[in-house]
Amino acid sequence: MDEYNRFVDWDKMDVTAQSQDAKELTCTEFQELKQLARQGYWAKNHSLRAKVYHKLISNIPCRTVTPDANVYRDIVVKIVGKRNSSSLPLPEFVDNSLVPTYCLNAEGIGAVRKIILCIANQFPDISFCPALPSVIALLLHYSKDEAECFEQVCRILACNDPSKRLIDQTFLAFESSCMTFGDLVNKYCQAAHKLMVAVSEDVLEVYSDWQRWLFGELPMVYIARVFDVFLVEGYKVLYRVALALLKFFHKVRAGQPMESDSIQQDIRAFVRDIAKSVSPERLLEKAFAIRLFSRKEIQLLQMANEKALQQKGITVKQKRQNVHLAVHAENFKSEIVSVKEMRDIWSWIPERFALCQPLLLFTTLEHGCSLSRFYSHSEGHEPTLLLIKTTAKEVCGAYLSTDWSERRRGGNKLSFFGTGECFVFRLQPEVERYEWVIIKHPELATTGSEPENHASPTSSTLSSSSAPSDPSDRLSPFLSARHFNLPSKTASMFMAGSSECIIIGGGDGQALYLDEDLNHGRTSHCNTFNNQPLCSESFQISVLEVWGFRD
């Protein structure tokens, strides 16, 4: 065969991977490499893929002292000794992960455990790395010997380029990536997310499986194609493919009964058997069709999630399985929503705040119908949740990302602020969450000056931008306008408040307006989006509540 066949069981290997077409890879430009990787240029030639992997990994910037093949040869006998490699215990940091065999022969299967133990010896700072067994098993298919595979994995782990994230090596990094994935699902896979909420008591636990789908359940021919692109483009590729897997799972299984008692098990089974429904090419095509956030935006979101975990003291794996806090039934009481409904709302909010408990800040039943008291009880809290029940038994609300004290920046004028994480929703008569759409004062767009009168409740005060058909075309739901360096007069705006009214720019053409006495409200609904209005165009408020987030 070739020099890279030592650990391969060719009876299991995809026959197309045995192609011996003469191919060379001479390009070095990123864009060309990216294109070739996505096209699978080296996917059908085993030897070429091995050489490309070696070249790409050799170019990873690493720490000055990074263990190499010679280190492995020096330590492997001392660490492994005469023990049977198939029975070697795995270090705790792999968290009882699956150790995929893929298309490895018996020698290769034993080599995976030996390499893991040697890496544990050389990287004492690794505290949590469940993807490691899969990465080692994959790279063994394309290595001349164990020492070469060890060196390549070490280079991936020792990458010191702050802009190039590769493999999570701490529980904090892993858990924040799961939260980030949950945030991305909430935006890009809303139909699948709705299904997860309906059939799972804890959606965050389901999304914590996302790396296992890739590094554990995905068949060899699929994960190899993903890894081709991952080595060129980095961590963002993993999010893309995991989102595509979830989209396909929802498409294939929609309307069908669950095959087990656990949605987690169903997704794992679907990914294992993905060849029955989706080809590798179709999976990657779907993944790259998602207009995902920029790498910078994802990095900021990841940092925010890490910070939230650190503030909660969650930096190492907890003994209890789920570190996330659901809404506690015994401590929750609302005159508007049930515990189940509040948990549904909790599944929509950014993951870093789903770690918190709801805290009632204001209710018209106790504090009266006063906008000034609304502000005094809500200010100093960020984010907040607004719930409204109308006299017609309609229930709607809004998630508001920014402290209401920001309204003072506009002086006496109605001042817009907030971030794209704001959204509005309806619980009764039907549950619906609306993606936000940029709203602007028409006067700002046409004259470039501040409008003189903002108090008019008519729908002409607000206009919803015509949104693209794909929600992912919109601005990031994480970043505020300032991250885009937009002029303040043309920046996106989501919530506004004055002494006379509150306006919340909703999603998919929805906008909510509340009078100063908090007894009456109106909605603005753009028919362009072909959806149901948030609630009646004009309504009387029965109860209004504002909730904060308690650590």
Cα three-residue angle 256-260-263, rounded to 5 degrees: 75
**Tokens standing for 200?**
């799972």
Q: In the chain, what percentage of residues exceed pLDDT 90? A: 48
Place of tokens 């002292």: 65
User: How confident is the model over 326-385, as pLDDT tens digits?
Assistant: 577 777 899 999 988 888 888 888 888 887 889 999 999 999 999 999 999 999 999 999
The structure's pTM equals 0.75
Q: Please write down the long-range contacts of 409-415, taking CB distance under 8 Å and 24 or more positions apart.
A: 410/498, 412/498, 412/499, 413/450, 413/451, 413/454, 413/498, 414/454, 414/455, 414/496, 414/497, 414/498, 414/500, 414/501, 414/503, 415/496, 415/497, 415/498
User: How confident is the model over 86-122, as pLDDT tens digits?
Assistant: 788 889 898 777 789 999 999 999 999 999 999 999 9
pLDDT value at residue 16: 63
DSSP E strand stretches across 333-462: 357-363, 384-390, 395-400, 415-417, 423-428, 432-434, 439-440
Phi and psi angles of residue 40, each rounded to the nearest 5 degrees, phi first: 75, 35
Report all structural domains of the chain as residue ranges with CATH numbers, in order of start. Answer: 10-312 (1.10.472.80), 326-439+491-550 (no CATH)
User: How confident is the model over 128-148, as pLDDT tens digits?
Assistant: 999 999 999 999 999 999 999
- Separation of alpha carbons 537 and 7, rounded Å: 68
Place of tokens 């060719």: 10
pLDDT value at residue 458: 30
Other beta carbons within 10 Å of 325: 15
The answer to whether the CB of 437 falls within 8 A of the CB of 528 is: no
Burial of 137 per CB tally in 10 Å (0-12, 13-18, 19+)? buried
- Separation of alpha carbons 284 and 241, rounded Å: 7
